[in-house]
Amino acid sequence: MGRRKRRVRTQVAIIGAGPAGLFLAHLLARAGVDAVVVERRDREYVEARVRAGVLEQVTVDLMDRLGLGKRMHREGLVHEGTILAHDGGMFRIDMKGLTGGSTVMVYGQQEVMRDLFDAGEERGVQVVFDAEDVALHGLDGSSPHITWRKDGVEQLLDCDFVAGCDGYHGVSRGSMPESVRREYERVYPFGWLGILADVPPANHELIYCNHERGFALASMRSATRSRYYLQCPLDDRLEDWSDDRFWDELCLRLGDRAAAGVTRGPSFEKSIAPLRSFVSEPMRWGRLFLAGDAAHIVPPTGAKGLNLAASDVVFLAEALEQHYLEHSDAGIDGYSARALARVWKAERFSWWFTGLTHRFPETGPLEHRLQVAELDYIRDSRAAQTTLAENYVGLPIS
């Protein structure tokens, strides 16, 4: 139990200092709305987590709008296309040409977090780190508050609204009564084994590869840092995967042409991530809003997770600005439906792209031939390529 109790007040309490929480804090600060971010871990931990690597135009625009884009435009890599590969064959999706000029930016989530934290310090974005036992109270009334403990001291924050930006394992979603929540979930029967290595990437654009032995992805963080993934069984252990075994398997799956570009080297990060499609509806209950992974998860195949977190909080910040500056609750009332409309389209795309490129337990020779037939169709159809490109670069904010 804590020794004393400290009580303060803000307008919006934000739980979680991941991309959703910090983007929201910056957007609110810019609009002159008071907010405090309460985070369970320390800054080093949050910043060091190796996760997403591809930013949609919407996220790039958000970084620019917040005046955070300088380093991203200097160090990030603009990608105008991406490669699909199977059975040794490869073809390119010209995203820029097919979408009337849209591209994506390769810039790691770690870099985004560093930019958000650095600028946050200068702009007075308040973040409480190392907050233990965060709890939400009074969400269905007119004066909610949140509590936590830090350094043995009980803390209480009164607020008008709570933004649950605390990821899939956070407390916010579970603070909505089960009777109002509807959850949709699919857990995929495999994981992604990812490595980072300081070697030049295999290709200047990403390669998504369907192989009979499983999916492979050649990605990057910079011209000198590669990020590779292999589909693997969920019960594989990292100890089973020496660097040599990883490089051999990667080259086998990529096929001779793409493998010719692979430079091997020691990995400095190796991890296995599970894959899941998940949506919890609604994204608002009373004075609680959910945003980002707290409300939905996508398998990483479409590179949508971080980008959805960004679009959610663009909608949420607009709604809160309307409430405080225009005294209208239309945005608040419409937030859940507006955010979910975009979320479900990204869920569909990520699910479809995962199905097209991965090996499932039920993938026999027939199913593999069907995947190959669909890949061949995409290769030969401008309409199919346009559909893929539009979704990959990110659907517009509407």
Q: Which residue ranges make up the site for ligand PHB (CB under 6 A)?
A: 52-54, 206, 219, 227, 300-301, 303
CB-wise, 217 or 316, nearer to ligand PHB? 217
The residues, any chain, with a CB within 8 Å of residue 317's CB and separated by 6 or more, are 24, 27, 28, 31
Taking residue 318's Cβ as centre, other Cβ atoms within 10 Å add up to 18
Taking the complex as a whole, how short is the minimal distance between the CB of residue 395 and ligand PHB, in angstroms? 16
CB-wise, 15 or 388, nearer to ligand FAD? 15
Considering CB distances under 5 to 8 angstroms, the limit depending on partner class, which of ligand FAD, ligand PHB, none binds residue 162?
Answer: none
Q: Which of residues 145-174 bind ligand FAD (CB under 6 A)?
A: 165-167, 169-171
Residue 115, class by beta-carbon neighbours within 10 Å (0-12 exposed, 13-18 middle, 19+ buried)? buried
Q: Which of 131, 207, 254, 317 binds ligand FAD (CB under 6 A)?
A: 131
Beta pairing class for 288-290 and 161-164: parallel
Angle of the 57-65 helix axis to the 305-325 helix axis, nearest 10: 40
Q: Exactly one of 107, 188, 335, 392 is catalytic; name it.
A: 392
Q: What residues pair up with 82 in beta bridges, in sequence order?
A: 93
Q: Which of residues 264-283 bind ligand FAD (CB under 6 A)?
A: 273
Q: Exactly one of 26, 145, 304, 323 is catalytic; name it.
A: 304
Q: Which of residues 26-65 bind ligand FAD (CB under 6 A)?
A: 38-41, 46, 51-53
Taking the complex as a whole, how short is the minimal distance between the CB of residue 283 and ligand FAD, in angstroms? 12
Phi-psi region of 106 (alpha: psi -120 to 50; beta: other; left: phi over 0): beta
| Whether 46 contacts 35, CB under 8 Å | no
Taking the complex as a whole, how short is the minimal distance between the CB of residue 51 and ligand PHB, in angstroms? 7
| Whether 131 contacts 153, CB under 8 Å | no
Q: Please, where are the H alpha helices in 235-304? A: 243-259
**Does position 379 bind ligand FAD by CB under 6 A?**
no
- Whether 304 is a known active-site residue: answer yes
Residue nearest to ligand PHB (CB): 53
**Does position 306 bind ligand FAD by CB under 6 A?**
yes
Taking the complex as a whole, how short is the minimal distance between the CB of residue 350 and ligand FAD, in angstroms? 9
Considering CB distances under 5 to 8 angstroms, the limit depending on partner class, which of ligand PHB, ligand FAD, none binds residue 227?
Answer: ligand PHB
Q: Which helix (H) or strand (E) holds 382?
A: helix 382-393
Per-position b or e across 262-277, b if 16+ CB within 10 A of its CB:
beeeebeebebeebeb
Q: Which helix (H) or strand (E) holds 380?
A: helix 365-380
Structure tokens at 337: 């439906």
Q: Which of residues 189-218 bind ligand FAD (CB under 6 A)?
A: none
Considering CB distances under 5 to 8 angstroms, the limit depending on partner class, which of ligand PHB, ligand FAD, none binds residue 85?
Answer: none
- Whether 335 is a known active-site residue: answer no
Rounded to 5 degrees, φ, ψ at 51 are: -140, -125
Taking the complex as a whole, how short is the minimal distance between the CB of residue 378 and ligand PHB, in angstroms? 16
Q: What residues pair up with 79 in beta bridges, in sequence order?
A: 104
Q: Which of 47, 293, 318, 321 binds ligand FAD (CB under 6 A)?
A: 293
Taking the complex as a whole, how short is the minimal distance between the CB of residue 383 and ligand FAD, in angstroms? 26
* Residues at the site binding ligand FAD, with contacts judged by CB under 6 A: 15-21, 38-41, 46, 51-53, 109, 131, 134, 165-167, 169-171, 273, 292-293, 300, 303-306, 309
